[in-house]
Amino acid sequence: MKDRKIRVGVVGVGHLGFQHARIVHQLERAELVGVFDINLERAEYVAKRWDTKVFKDLYELLNEVEAVSCVVPTSSHYEVAKEILAHGIHLFLEKPMTETVKQAEELVKLSEKKGVKLQIGHIERFNPAVLAVHQFINHPKFIESHRLAPYNPRGTDVDVVLDLMIHDLDLIIFYLGKEPVKVEAVGVPVITDKVDIANARLEFDNGEIANVTASRISIEKLRKIRMFQKDMYISIDYLHRDVEFYRKYGDEIIPFFPEVNKSLEPLKLELESFVSSILKDTKPPVTGMDGLRALRVALRVKEDIAKRIHNFI
Ligand code: NAD
């Protein structure tokens, strides 16, 4: 059917789930059927705001939708996602996919068994600055990233590696098309009882290096990734959505500032791509396997940190 709309529910409508509900409500090719949250008062508030129904039970919602956007805290991703997939419902699952590789592998298998789409919320892939440089990235050899955020109690059910660093790990794996052969990392808990600031050095099979820093206890916000590849330096400012290049032509280094369409909303592009992959029966742009790869590397970072500071965590 040409104008068919996908019937979508949002599960977990806290800070980010509110935005998911807003966007699903606005999407042309989706219908926001309803929301479910264990906090009924919150579900009622969000449902009222986006003119939709409150489900008091997850299974009632699952019986009325084709797809779910799952935005519960990370520590509940696996449990909730498993129920959704087991019902044969397409699933958009926020990042980090799960807390363990085994759980993530199980979700990938279950989605395959049920023949449903599974997309993971690695939203930086849809950042307009990232989209603007995509075509220029060609085997970066040296990558440096910084993702520094002020303290916010939200997201502290996991450490900074799963909360923030995983965004950069996903992009690095995506750009290089492989996982590192060696991971060395340091990190410490400062404000929470989990690691709040971390640095990882990833080494890849062809000698590529990525140096990745993430903090959730910074005074100022910074989100940048810098890449060096043959004859070119590319810098992406995720936060301000700016991009700059320096390219060698003969003996000269020429700066270049590609145009970025800053009006694009990453969350909208992300959820639109999920709905479109269902409608067109295509592979989602960020698959369950992508989520699993990013998680696997994040957990290697965590393990290496734990080796050094096992008495802290
Ligand atoms: P939040 O605490 O504000 O909201 C979570 C909501 O889920 C709450 O309303 C809570 O009542 C509800 N909930 C908890 N358990 C539930 C369950 N079993 N069933 C239904 N509802 C349940 O958290 P948040 O900041 O919105 O984060 C949610 C998820 O989104 C996390 O996984 C986080 O990592 C992810 N996130 C991703 C990004 C990104 O950049 N992609 C940014 C922020 C958060």
Same domain, 176 and 305: yes
- Residue 310: is its pLDDT beyond 90? no
CA 99 to centroid of ligand 1, rounded, Å: 14
* Pocket perturbation via mutation, ligand 1, pick of 10, 22, 58, 94 by most ligand atoms within 8 A of CB: 94
Angstrom distance (rounded) from CA 84 to CA 177: 30
Same domain, 149 and 111: no
Token couple for 139: 């085997």
Token couple for 308: 């050094």
- Phi and psi torsions of 228, nearest 5°: -115, 125
CA 188 to centroid of ligand 1, rounded, Å: 24
Same domain, 166 and 308: yes
Same domain, 50 and 184: no
Position 1 in a domain: no
Contact 287, 118 (CB under 8 A): yes
Mean pLDDT computed over 128-141: 94
Same domain, 302 and 180: yes
| 79 compared with 1, residue with greater pLDDT | 79
Same domain, 31 and 44: yes
CA 300 to centroid of ligand 1, rounded, Å: 24
Mean pLDDT computed over 296-313: 85
Residue 121 Cβ contacting ligand 1 at under 6 Å: yes
Mean pLDDT computed over 183-209: 97
**Strand-strand pairing, 6-11 and 118-121:** unpaired
CA 68 to centroid of ligand 1, rounded, Å: 14
Contact 218, 149 (CB under 8 A): yes
Angstrom distance (rounded) from CA 69 to CA 71: 6
Position 46 in a domain: yes
CA 74 to centroid of ligand 1, rounded, Å: 7
* Pocket perturbation via mutation, ligand 1, pick of 11, 13, 15, 39 by most ligand atoms within 8 A of CB: 15
Contact 113, 216 (CB under 8 A): no
What is residue 108's predicted lDDT score, i.e. its pLDDT? 98
Closest CA to 24 of 58, 47, 57: 47
Q: Categorize the per-residue pLDDT at 1 as very low, low, confident or very high, splitting at 50, 70 and 90.
A: low
Mean pLDDT computed over 202-228: 97
Residue 91 Cβ contacting ligand 1 at under 6 Å: no
DSSP letter (8 states) at residue 27: -
- Phi and psi torsions of 32, nearest 5°: -80, 105
* Mean pLDDT for all residues in the chain: 96
Q: How many domains does the chain have?
A: 2
Mean pLDDT computed over 80-107: 98
Within 10 angstroms of residue 48's Cβ, the number of other Cβ atoms is 10
CA 70 to centroid of ligand 1, rounded, Å: 8
**36, containing H or E segment:** strand 30-36
Mean pLDDT computed over 218-246: 96
80 Cα nearest atom in ligand 1: 18
Same domain, 271 and 201: no
The 3-state DSSP class for residue 6 equals strand
Angstrom distance (rounded) from CA 276 to CA 284: 8
Q: Tokens 């059917």 identify what position?
A: 1
CA-nearest residue for atom 12, ligand 1, is: 12
Residue 294 Cβ contacting ligand 1 at under 6 Å: no
**DSSP characters for 211-248?**
EEEEESS-SS-EEEEEEEETTEEEEEETTTTEEEEEEE
Residue 134 Cβ contacting ligand 1 at under 6 Å: no
Angstrom distance (rounded) from CA 157 to CA 271: 24
Position 244 in a domain: yes
The helix/strand count (H/E) of the chain reads as 10, 14
Same domain, 140 and 234: yes
Token couple for 126: 């849809």
What is residue 25's predicted lDDT score, i.e. its pLDDT? 98
CA 243 to centroid of ligand 1, rounded, Å: 30
Position 134 in a domain: yes
Same domain, 259 and 196: yes
Position 60 in a domain: yes
96 Cα nearest atom in ligand 1: 34
Q: Categorize the per-residue pLDDT at 87 as very low, low, confident or very high, splitting at 50, 70 and 90.
A: very high
Residue 34 Cβ contacting ligand 1 at under 6 Å: no
Closest CA to 191 of 165, 223, 220, 156: 156
Mean pLDDT computed over 270-289: 98
- Residue 180: is its pLDDT beyond 80? yes
| 155 compared with 6, residue with greater pLDDT | 6
Same domain, 90 and 66: yes
Q: Categorize the per-residue pLDDT at 2 as very low, low, confident or very high, splitting at 50, 70 and 90.
A: low
Same domain, 254 and 275: no
Give the CATH number of the domain where residue 161 resides: 3.30.360.10
Position 247 in a domain: yes
What is residue 161's predicted lDDT score, i.e. its pLDDT? 98
Residue 17 Cβ contacting ligand 1 at under 6 Å: yes
Angstrom distance (rounded) from CA 168 to CA 229: 17
- Calculate what percentage of the chain has a pLDDT beyond 90: 94
Q: Categorize the per-residue pLDDT at 195 as very low, low, confident or very high, splitting at 50, 70 and 90.
A: very high
What is residue 175's predicted lDDT score, i.e. its pLDDT? 96
What is residue 83's predicted lDDT score, i.e. its pLDDT? 98
Position 18 in a domain: yes
Q: Categorize the per-residue pLDDT at 311 as very low, low, confident or very high, splitting at 50, 70 and 90.
A: low
Q: Tokens 């450490």 identify what position?
A: 159
- Residue 312: is its pLDDT beyond 80? no
Mean pLDDT computed over 45-50: 98
Residue 288 Cβ contacting ligand 1 at under 6 Å: no
Same domain, 197 and 238: yes
Position 292 in a domain: no
Give the CATH number of the domain where residue 280 resides: 3.40.50.720
**Strand-strand pairing, 6-11 and 30-36:** parallel
Q: pLDDT tens across 255-277, in order?
A: 999 999 999 999 999 999 999 99
- Residue 313: is its pLDDT beyond 70? no
Residue 94 Cβ contacting ligand 1 at under 6 Å: yes
42 Cα nearest atom in ligand 1: 9
Residue 12 Cβ contacting ligand 1 at under 6 Å: yes
Q: How many angstroms from the chain centroid is the CA of residue 46?
A: 23
Structural domain containing residue 150: 125-264+297-312
